[in-house]
Structure 1
Amino acid sequence: MKKYNLILFVLGLIVLSSSCSDDFGDMNTPSDSVTEVEPKFFFNAMQQQVVANYQRNVNLYPDLYSQYWANTVSGFGSPRYEYVDGWIGNQWNEHYTTNLRRALAIQDMYGEDPNYVDAIAIKDIWMCYMWSRMTDTYGDIPYFGAGTGEKTAYNTQAEIYDDLLKRLDISVNAITGGEEQYVYGDGYDLIYAGDVVKWQKFGNSLRLRLAMRLSNVDVARAQTEAAAAVNGPNGLMTSNDDVTKVPLWSEGWFDYLNQMAWNWNNIRMSKTFSNYLYNQSSVGEDPRASIWFAYQVDGEPKTKEEAGFDIYDGIENGYNLVPTDADENFATINLKGGYVDFVGDGDQAQMYVPVMFYSEVLFLQAEAAMRGWISGDANALYKQAVEASMEYVGVDATATSAYVDGLPNLSGTNESSLKQLITQKWLANFPNGVEAWADFRRTDYPDITLPKDGVSGSASVASGTWVKRVRYPNSAHLNNEANMPSSQNTTETDRMDIKVWWDTADTKTKANGLMNSNL
């Protein structure tokens, strides 16, 4: 990872510009200067963007809103739905000023070279993922023509999704795998080390994820895209070997959950999450619980038995004044659980932040099959998804079988089946709070709570309702407010209870605990 940090330092010294005159540019460019940069350097930095400012961009917002975690620091505004520009505002600025410009640099320098077709396609697949994160966070954003340094119109989320799905189709099909093709390669492609087949699988799987986002807003398009994703070249992810994840650095900030849960004591498991670890299967405790979580006792991770607790318990979300004993009495991430994706085992080569799990892809297929959009047995796919998560986390086969056998089958109405499916998907997606928050907004499952101490008086979310998006940053209001959606072009109207385009669920349940609007 030290090599990656050096690369970032070098990239920071590169100025991307164009001259007014070719002759003038030649006269003022030393013969030995660098005028082009190999795309692997840009692409490497683009992949690391998923963990940039992780605490402020993800942990204090999607992670809390998905209720994987609860905050244990009194006075933090985001758990009670406040917008803090110095935190989440970084995501917007980093995307437009660094990540997007790196992508455009690759396109500008190599987009017309036939030997870089695969590299351009892989870059586009990755950017489709990054763009989806951005629009799912904010809603309508500058998209077409963004990154040029000019003020850009905001495009609707419907327009952006339409283009992302088209780009994924084009990119996955463009990959040739030819020997003459430039590859990012091991050490620079941090995810798949240049394996184009795995990139196609991820591209198709991402297309399926985005297709399911449309389930309540454009059923026909969702069905078409889901079927196309399943049948794309080399298909979907087929095992845990295909998981999309970005490696981290165990000796510094990139050890993100260790820093936040142990070094800073900012987070503990959410009470919502702990409840679902004990109420899903007839066996009782989810066997992933003791791998994922521990209690912090004298600075060391301890099992619930060692710490004197009956369960791995979590703290309620949304305290204004957090109980002073929160650090001691609620479970945190297990530094010695063996699940190396979180915190490693001393070997930095084994630490990762998740982008897409194989289990998620199986859950997506299960939902699509349940809706009749693709072939397959929805209940079998749902059970396979749970098994894939257990295998990935490191649960032994016997405990996995017992837990899965104790799960209720998908039965009854499709709405009740969807609630059970999404709840298990939410568990399996831990700790990917970005995706978990998106699923909750799309389906209103699983059941999560409102802030314990109520929505903050400084929030732009109505009391008794959930946060639905993040407002635009102050820099966007200052520099490009005229191009914002007319209903959100002031800091007063740019509210965080406004639904994004694909969020049509009503956040109000019937008496039986099911939603009105998913199927």
Structure 2
Amino acid sequence: MKQIIVALFCLIVLGSCTKGFETANQNPNQISDELLKQDFNLVGSPISGMVFNLNGHQIEEDLCYDNWMGYMGTPTDFVGNVNNTTYYIRWNSYWDRVYGSVMAPAKQVIKLAQENSLPLFGDWAKLIRILGISKLAAIHGPVIYSNYGSTAASILYDKESDLYTLLFKQLDSIQTDFGANTAYGGFAKFDPTSYAGSIPQWMKVVNSLRLRLAMRLSKVDPATAKTQGEKALNDPAGLIATNADNFINSLNGNIMPVAQICYQWDDTRMGGVIESFMVGLKDGRISKYFAPLGDASLAADHPTTPYKGIRNGAYIKAKADHVPFSKVSNDFNSVTTRRDFCAAEVAFLKAEAGLRGWAGAGDPKTNYENGVRLSFADWGASGVDAYLADATSKPVNYVDPIDPRNSFTTASTITVAWNAADNNELKLEKILTQKYLAAFTQTLEAWVDFRRTGYPKIPHVAKNDSGPDWGVIPADQWIKRMPFVNAERTGNTAAVTDAVTKMGTGAKDDIATRLWWDTGGPNF
């Protein structure tokens, strides 16, 4: 599919070679430059492909941070059961997706928008570019951004602190331009799934993204985080506040990645970690996320809730052993869109911002409960009132009926009901645990939150194959980042070496080096 998208993009951007000829001399099977300029096709057509590629696919999501955070587990013993899920890096592909299918077309759209006096399309491409690069930076740390497109022999990476400063500045500029053109309708044709071209709706995305990035910096640079967070919270354009505001991404005719790898390849199943939380907390969303077991005896530890997952970094002897465990819901096979940025996430961001004293955040309890309600409604789950009132149910221990080495005792003892008497640390754990549960199929930010705060409390991998090749993760720690891709290590070596120095004293290009905002320090 990637090749088809690239080919289509080249056709759209490059147009035909008949420009300047008379109509009679044009090849009827080619698209002329003049035709491409009509209705903004020249700058608008690449947008859907860019938005589609904001998210990772089977490898980037389901066999990396979906697994590391316990949303999904694999029954397959890839490469002798020594792979990304057990902390030995075999796959590393999101870098290529972002640069090849987001940054490259964005650069071209921005150039064409400038040449054709269509600045708002340039702003739109810049926003999508920021969405993509901010995800990539959450995976690797330093990235190539301000120097992207350079023809120098060595293309330097942006230091993380410099990158975030630049991203906030660019969001300022985009929001100013959008705010001066709220009635503009030129986007509509190219935005059928997300917002039908509504500038005011895209302004909510700008503010919500600013709030997300501000929260990443809440410990490493609390002053900047507070300034940027409050700017987002108090901007009159507002935030993604209702499910009608959700940023929805078209799958462009593709199968949802989590369904494809689960049903077509049989290589993922429900995660043992999310089983522990959802079964223990009596979470009504479980049937929206996962399919019940065909063999209920596999869930003998909780027979009234017939779901069973696979632990993160599990010991896997043979694929057939764990294949009978719970798949994702069959509904994912037929969806045509996916969630990209939801109101529930914003509500939980506001709840945490309230704990941190950011002006305009509102009451943490109200935002926490609103986040849960928004998520239940978004997924069509019932029972939210009883769920929010439950002050006794807790996560359960996980039992692997096939291999006891994968079983674990839950580290979390939280309940769902908000308790005003709790300290901020416990309140934060509740907020981020519910944010984690709401983030199914958009899980990268859960990995960010976990590295940033330690919440939700999840077990270590059962099988830790980390080592000197990719970095050693101690038995009491978790993976911190992904290394730079091999093409950069061999083809942009000096810049990679420089990027590592930008990560701090003692940093290495390995999976054990913390990102800038992952301080390891106290949350308050």
* TM-score, L = length of structure 2: 0.82
Q: Distance in 2 between matches of 1:141 and 1:497?
A: 18
SS at match of 2:229: helix
Whether 1:290 and 2:296 are equivalent positions in the alignment is no
Match of 1:66 among 53, 57, 69: 69
Tell me if the contact between 2:184 and 2:199 (Cα under 8 Å) persists in the aligned partners: no
Q: 1:370 to 1:134 in 2, by over 3 A?
A: same
Letter in 2 for 1:42: P
Tell me if the contact between 2:156 and 2:498 (Cα under 8 Å) persists in the aligned partners: no
Q: Distance in 2 between matches of 1:97 and 1:287?
A: 39
> After superposition, where does 1:383-402 map in structure 2 within 5 Å?
383-396=369-382, 399-402=383-386
For structure 1, which runs of at least 5 residues remain unmatched after alignment?
Answer: 18-25, 337-341, 345-349, 507-516
Q: Distance in 2 between matches of 1:7 and 1:479?
A: 26
Q: Report deviation, 1:475.
A: 0.4
SS at match of 2:73: strand
Tell me if the contact between 1:296 and 1:328 (Cα under 8 Å) persists in the aligned partners: no
Q: 1:205 to 1:302 in 2, by over 3 A?
A: farther
Q: Distance in 2 between matches of 1:208 and 1:326?
A: 43
Residue matched to 2:132: 130
Residue matched to 2:462: 452
Q: 1:179 to 1:363 in 2, by over 3 A?
A: closer
Q: Report deviation, 1:379.
A: 0.8
Deviates more, 1:381-390 or 1:175-184: 175-184
Q: 1:147 to 1:309 in 2, by over 3 A?
A: farther
Tell me if the contact between 1:77 and 1:456 (Cα under 8 Å) persists in the aligned partners: no
Residue matched to 1:21: none
SS at match of 1:50: coil
SS at match of 2:491: helix
Q: Distance in 2 between matches of 1:371 and 1:454?
A: 35
Whether 1:353 and 2:338 are equivalent positions in the alignment is yes
Tell me if the contact between 1:41 and 1:188 (Cα under 8 Å) persists in the aligned partners: no
Q: Report deviation, 1:381.
A: 0.8
Match of 1:473 among 470, 481, 485: 485
Whether 1:44 and 2:39 are equivalent positions in the alignment is no
Q: 1:225 to 1:179 in 2, by over 3 A?
A: closer
Q: Distance in 2 between matches of 1:501 and 1:152?
A: 21
Q: Report deviation, 1:51.
A: 4.4
Residue matched to 1:10: 8
Q: Distance in 1 between matches of 2:3 and 2:100?
A: 18
For structure 2, which runs of at least 5 residues remain unmatched after alignment?
Answer: 27-31, 391-415, 502-506
Letter in 2 for 1:401: D
The size of the alignment, in residue pairs, is 470
Match of 1:317 among 312, 325, 328: 312
Whether 1:462 and 2:473 are equivalent positions in the alignment is yes
Q: Distance in 1 between matches of 2:344 and 2:425?
A: 21
Q: Distance in 2 between matches of 1:42 and 1:5?
A: 14
Residue matched to 1:34: 33
Match of 1:83 among 58, 66, 89: 89
SS at match of 1:291: helix
Tell me if the contact between 1:366 and 1:381 (Cα under 8 Å) persists in the aligned partners: yes
Q: Distance in 2 between matches of 1:322 and 1:177?
A: 60
Q: Distance in 2 between matches of 1:5 and 1:391?
A: 37
Q: Report deviation, 1:288.
A: 0.7
Whether 1:405 and 2:382 are equivalent positions in the alignment is no
Q: Report deviation, 1:311.
A: 3.7
Residue matched to 1:513: none
Measured against aligned partners, the alpha-carbon deviations of 1:398-441 in whole angstroms (never above 9, x if no partner) come to x1111112122144221111111111110011121211111111
Q: Report deviation, 1:392.
A: 0.4
SS at match of 2:330: coil
Q: Distance in 2 between matches of 1:496 and 1:11?
A: 34
Deviates more, 1:443-452 or 1:42-51: 42-51
Letter in 1 for 2:307: Y
Q: Distance in 2 between matches of 1:198 and 1:410?
A: 34
Residue matched to 1:119: 121
Residue matched to 2:400: none
> After superposition, where does 1:141-160 map in structure 2 within 5 Å?
141-150=143-152, 151-160=154-163
Deviates more, 1:361-370 or 1:451-460: 451-460
Measured against aligned partners, the alpha-carbon deviations of 1:9-32 in whole angstroms (never above 9, x if no partner) come to 332346769xxxxxxxx9x97646
Q: 1:227 to 1:452 in 2, by over 3 A?
A: same
Letter in 2 for 1:518: N
Q: Report deviation, 1:313.
A: 2.3
Letter in 2 for 1:79: T
Q: Distance in 1 between matches of 2:220 and 2:171?
A: 20
Residue matched to 1:509: none
Q: 1:410 to 1:500 in 2, by over 3 A?
A: farther
Q: 1:136 to 1:405 in 2, by over 3 A?
A: same
Tell me if the contact between 2:344 and 2:375 (Cα under 8 Å) persists in the aligned partners: yes
Q: Distance in 2 between matches of 1:278 and 1:308?
A: 10
Letter in 1 for 2:515: V
Q: 1:214 to 1:176 in 2, by over 3 A?
A: closer
Tell me if the contact between 1:100 and 1:147 (Cα under 8 Å) persists in the aligned partners: no
SS at match of 2:369: helix
SS at match of 2:338: strand
Letter in 1 for 2:325: F
Whether 1:364 and 2:366 are equivalent positions in the alignment is no
Measured against aligned partners, the alpha-carbon deviations of 1:50-97 in whole angstroms (never above 9, x if no partner) come to 346x0122221121122211111112501011222xx32x32123223
Identity %: 27
Q: Report deviation, 1:149.
A: 4.2
Letter in 1 for 2:516: W
Measured against aligned partners, the alpha-carbon deviations of 1:466-519 in whole angstroms (never above 9, x if no partner) come to 111100011001111101244748xx942111011101125xxxxxxxxxx111
Q: Distance in 2 between matches of 1:180 and 1:331?
A: 47
Match of 2:333 among 328, 340, 343: 343
Letter in 2 for 1:11: F
Tell me if the contact between 2:425 and 2:523 (Cα under 8 Å) persists in the aligned partners: yes
Q: Distance in 1 between matches of 2:488 and 2:278?
A: 41
Q: Report deviation, 1:162.
A: 0.8
Letter in 2 for 1:430: F
Q: Distance in 1 between matches of 2:182 and 2:498?
A: 50
Letter in 2 for 1:365: K
Letter in 2 for 1:82: Y
Q: Distance in 2 between matches of 1:145 and 1:455?
A: 35
Q: Distance in 2 between matches of 1:244 and 1:322?
A: 40
Residue matched to 1:201: 204
Q: 1:40 to 1:304 in 2, by over 3 A?
A: farther
Letter in 2 for 1:172: Q
Residue matched to 1:339: none
Letter in 1 for 2:312: N
Residue matched to 1:512: none
Letter in 2 for 1:40: G
Letter in 2 for 1:123: A
SS at match of 2:45: helix
Residue matched to 1:484: 496
Measured against aligned partners, the alpha-carbon deviations of 1:347-402 in whole angstroms (never above 9, x if no partner) come to xxx53222211100000011101111124111111011100000001023xx1111
Residue matched to 1:510: none
Q: 1:113 to 1:182 in 2, by over 3 A?
A: farther
* TM-score, L = length of structure 1: 0.83
Q: 1:121 to 1:7 in 2, by over 3 A?
A: same
Deviates more, 1:172-181 or 1:218-227: 172-181
Letter in 1 for 2:177: A
Deviates more, 1:130-139 or 1:98-107: 98-107
